[in-house]
Amino acid sequence: MAPATKERIDRGTGTGLGAPWNVIVLNDHHNTFQGVASALASTLPEVSYDQGLRFADRIHSNGRAIVWSGHLTVFRDRIATEWRRARGDAARMVEIAPRYDPRILEAVRALDDRAESIAEISRRVGVAAAQLGLPKPSYVHLRRRIVAHREEEDAERARRDEIREILYDAYYDFMRSRVVDAYDIADRIREAGR
């Protein structure tokens, strides 16, 4: 007969949260010191813009830096609390990517010219950002914004063309003394471009 086994309960002395996590930021060739400092200051609780600049310098010098260390659940809770307090909302998800100043987005719309390359538009937006005293956005992010802006313009142009065709058909029917259903036209206009 085998001896009876006893279950051994480990009461441990840990927090139950597991090992601490490190948030490591790697150096790249796209983001500026000011952009990194701004992103860290707006994302990490208790990190000021000046501390962000010091982190950016360490990241540039060493190729990487630990910008936060601790337990992930604590990190999420602290960031969510800071964002709710700063924004006055009850958002559960944290926006990690830096958000661009509305003036940058307006510059993208104003300076976009399809006759020019996206790189040239990006350069012009960078100059406009410098004139506004804002950090220069990365080319990769600006390219996405420019492409999205152009897609929005194309969709709006297609919607206007579709509405023009609907109104032309209604006008044609009306001029030929055919019955024109205003509700049908309104529904077609509402659905245009979807």
The answer, yes or no, to whether residue 16 has pLDDT greater than 90, is no
Per-residue pLDDT reduced to its tens digit, 64-82: 998 888 776 666 666 666 6
| Domain residue extents for the chain | 21-87, 102-191
- CA 95 to each of CA 69, 88, 127: distance values in angstroms, whole numbers, following the listed order: 19, 14, 27
The answer, yes or no, to whether residue 54 has pLDDT greater than 50, is yes
**Mean local confidence (pLDDT), 168-178:** 91
Q: Which pair of tokens denotes residue 49?
A: 């813009």
For residues 13 and 114, the answer to whether their CB atoms sit within 8 Å is: no
pTM: 0.45
Per-residue pLDDT reduced to its tens digit, 79-125: 666 666 665 554 444 444 557 788 888 999 999 999 999 999 999 99
Confidence of residue 127 (pLDDT cuts 50, 70, 90): very high
Per-residue pLDDT reduced to its tens digit, 174-188: 899 898 888 998 999
Residue environment code for 37-72, b if the CB has 16+ CB neighbours within 10 A, otherwise e: bbbbbbbbeebeeeebbebbebbeeeeebebbeeee
For residues 132 and 103, the answer to whether their CB atoms sit within 8 Å is: yes
The answer, yes or no, to whether residue 190 has pLDDT greater than 60, is yes
pLDDT at 72: 66
Per-residue pLDDT reduced to its tens digit, 133-153: 888 888 888 898 899 889 999
Count of positions (residues) in the chain: 194
Domain spanning 21-87: CATH 3.20.20.70: no
Helices (H), 63-138: 72-87, 102-111, 118-131
**Mean local confidence (pLDDT), 20-28:** 84
Distance from the Cα of residue 83 to its chain's centroid: 15
Confidence of residue 40 (pLDDT cuts 50, 70, 90): confident
Residue type, 32: T
**Which among 97, 25, 21, 98 is positioned nearest to 61, based on CA atoms?**
25
pLDDT at 90: 46
Confidence of residue 30 (pLDDT cuts 50, 70, 90): confident
